Structure 1
């Protein structure tokens, strides 16, 4: 693979460089073709690099910034006043062509607003959407779900656009020839759901380019019935966080049962390989990194409270999208599909 550059918002997230610098070290060790531009306070970054014994700076560039964006800061204020923030500089580097992608664990609203302003939207797309892949019953496949929180409420036209973008994402990233697209709803019957959900269903049914399979309920998110699950950001974010909470609950319960007595501990040793595989599949860290699609560039949003390994996975997601030329492929197909529209 040719070398590529990812710009990191080092100061973003709940823990900033405490997480982003160890993740950067991990990424550099595992991906020898990777170059990183670390955006943030230079003195802070250098101190953390030294602390983690990162002495080879040949693949690292530091972009000093005098500001950072707080997690509770209003997006409009961040957009207007924080032009020298680590988040803004990372996005500027993508827009200028000096970085292939941006990864940030910072304020989601601010990232959305600034990315929208700096990178601009694709033709025919009204709003970007946060999309991520989730595990399903088939261990070799994933389900792509959007929107995960970028837009609290959207109309049927925007949901239709999300369906198109999600379908292309699944087709290009997971190489699914004809991704099954479903709308997340409170029931599978045609009469269920709000007006804009039902209107979106009509639009999708009339679109030959989309393999629309109908409504699915929350209990089918991981069933494999759909490769792409479409909803607004309010529903998507709650569903995602609920799933993550359940995964942690299950892992905690399993470990508690295993450690109850000598017999269960022995059983745990015997089942160790299987348990490790289950824990790996359920661990939300490996699915960290939601792509902000619909923009003219790659932007990956990490959880604000991500661990270093989770933030590393967000970097890996960005690298994968660059490597597979996701922007070029998605942009071309999006423009074709959305300009052509539904019949």
Structure 2
């Protein structure tokens, strides 16, 4: 399996990406990884790999790409002037069919813009969405999308997200009918912004989707749905808040057991259980977000990911390759989006009828004629 990596995108530079790539190869020897970035820097990092990871060097190759997309660079600038960057070179390799998936920890907006230009989208999806899995209390996982690619999303885009997330849950997790929900400020049908209300009406008209209605924020972690849909502003805020909460809980638990000699003794006895809790809550385990809707597999790693986190992002890419996710999405979305578009259109007509009825009007008439 061939994975192309933008080795320069993360906050920690190429050290994290090179070490993470080597670690991923040690865990999955079937991987062949191409690292894109300034050749001299990548060769230096390769030479610094510790002995256990150095054995993976035969599965790693370096492709010189002297430019780097900065974290503060605007997507338009990356599109105009980023042709020599490690990110663009990685995506070009993927677009030419020389790799099965790409991974980057770089600028999210630039990665989305360059990916759309290099790969295009599938199933008539106008804009991809970012999705990742987050843990639930039932030792399962829930797919949350969008996480920032679409800060504001109207009803048709939310329906697209629901269709893509539902397909991902079926194919990656083997769920026959994943439960799909819209994130809202309450479960009552009258709550939420107009876009969420319209998406709710449209999804209820799609019998092929196991749509369960609205879910509140706490329902995500309670495992009330397998796919939770929202716009990118809300999704990103939920994700970052949950990561911060998980880290805080782990630190608080650790500090509690270290506060007194008696609690330290209890902590020694509870160490195996505490270790499991730390691993389950560790956001690093869930690093790697899919850019769903592209005609190819692109995984966005957290910008601050260390080598271990980058390893998990590569593993996420390999998982999607094994399941052939873009091809499955393309086949299903072509069929389902026509029904979804009709549902959204029907909802707009119904909304128009309700507005006219409230104004005392009917189609083809006006308020005066209706009163007469």
* Match in the other structure for 2:93: 93
Provide the residue aligned with 2:17 in structure 1: 20
**Quick one: which of 48, 52, 74 aligns to 1:51?**
48
- Separation in 2 of the partners of 1:333 and 1:41? 40
Point out the structure with the larger helix share. Answer: 2
Distance across 2 between alignment mates of 1:320 and 1:227: 18
**2:30 is matched with which residue?**
33
Q: 1:49–1:55: 8 Å Cα contact kept in structure 2? A: no
* Superposition TM-score, scaled by structure 2 size: 0.89
Specify the SS of the correspondent of 1:277. Answer: helix
C-alpha displacement of 1:340: 4.0
Question: TM-score, normalised to structure 1's length?
Answer: 0.97
Q: Write the mapping of 1:1-343 to structure 2, written as runs, cut at 5 A.
A: 4-53=1-50, 54=54, 57-139=57-139, 141-341=140-340, 342-343=342-343
Extract unaligned runs of 5+ from structure 1.
none
Query: How many residues align structurally?
Result: 339
Shift of 1:339: 3.3
How far does the alpha carbon of each residue in 1:120-147 deviate from its partner, in whole angstroms, 9 at most, with x for none?
01132111000001111111x2100000
Alpha-carbon distance in 2 for matches of 1:56, 1:33:
11
CA contact (8 A) 2:26 2:56 kept: no
Q: Which runs of 5+ in 2 are unaligned?
A: 344-372
1-structure distance, mates of 2:222, 2:215: 10
Instruction: State the 1:84 CA deviation.
Output: 1.1
Q: CA RMSD in A?
A: 1.1
Query: Cα deviations across residues 200-250 of structure 1 (Å, max 9, x unaligned)?
Result: 000000011111101111111111111000000000000000000110110
Deviation, 1:28, is 1.4
**Which structure has the greater CA radius of gyration?**
2
> Which 4+ residue blocks in structure 1 deviate beyond 2 angstroms?
53-58, 339-343
